[in-house]
A and B are shown apart, each in its own frame.
Chain A
Amino acid sequence: MLSKKQLFTRGMLDISPHMLSVIPFGIICGAIGVELGFNPYLVYAMSFIIFGGASQIVFLQLLSGGASSLVAVTSVGIINSRHLLYGAVLSEYLEKLSFIKKLLISYVIVDQGFAESNKFFKKNKSEEYLHYHLIGTGCTMWVCWQIATLSGIILGSFVPEELGLKFAIPLTFIAIVVQDLKKIDHVIVMITCGLSSLLFFDAPFKSYIIISPVIALFVASLLLRLKK
Chain B
Amino acid sequence: MTLVSIIFAGILTYFTRMTMVALISRDMLGDKVKAVLEYVPSAVFPAIIFPGIFINDYGTFIEINDPKIFGALVAVIVGYFSKNIIATILAGLVSYWFLIFVIFS
Could you list which residues of chain A lie within 8 angstroms of chain B, going by C-beta atoms?
17-18, 20-21, 38-39, 42, 45-46, 49-52, 54-55, 59, 63, 69, 72-73, 76-77, 80-92, 94-95, 99, 102-103, 105-107, 109, 111, 115, 118, 162-181, 185-186, 189-198, 201-202, 208-209, 212-213, 216-217, 220-221, 224
Contacts of B37 in A (CB 8 A): 85, 88-89
Q: Is the CB of B10 within 8 A of A111?
A: no
Q: Is the CB of A83 within 8 A of B39?
A: no
Task: Kindly report which residue of chain A lies nearest to residue B55, judged by CB atoms.
Answer: A201
What is the count of residue pairs linking A and B with beta-carbon distances less than 8 angstroms?
270
B: number of interface residues (CB 8 Å): 69
Contact B76 A87 (CB under 8 A): no
Enumerate chain A residues within 8 angstroms of B98, measured Cβ to Cβ. Answer: none
A53 to B84, CA, bound (A): 23
Inter-chain contacts of B40 with A (CB < 8 A) = 85-86, 88-89, 118, 213, 217
| B interface with A by C-beta (< 8 Å) | 1-10, 12-14, 16-22, 24-26, 29, 32-55, 59, 61, 68, 71-72, 75-76, 79-80, 83-86, 88-90, 92-93, 96-97, 100
Cβ-closest chain B residue relative to A187: B42
Neighbouring B residues of A174 by C-beta, 8 Å: 49, 72, 75-76, 79, 88, 92
- Are A209's CB and B17's CB within 8 A? no
Q: Chain A residues near B2: list those with CB within 8 A.
A: 38-39, 42, 63, 69
Cross-chain contact B6 with A46 (CB below 8 angstroms): yes
- Which A residue's beta carbon lies closest to that of B7? A49
Q: Give 11 A-B contacts (CB < 8 Å), ordered by A residue.
A: A46-B10, A49-B9, A69-B1, A82-B44, A83-B16, A85-B20, A90-B21, A106-B22, A166-B52, A213-B47, A224-B32
Q: Please name the residue on chain A nearest to B79 by beta carbon.
A: A178
Q: Chain B residues with Cβ under 8 A from A18's Cβ?
A: 85
Q: How far, in angstroms, from A113 to B80 measured CA to CA in the complex? A: 20
Q: Give Cα A39–Cα B3 distance, bound, in whole angstroms.
A: 10
Q: Within 8 Å CB of A54, what residues of B?
A: 48
Q: Is the CB of A171 within 8 A of B22?
A: no
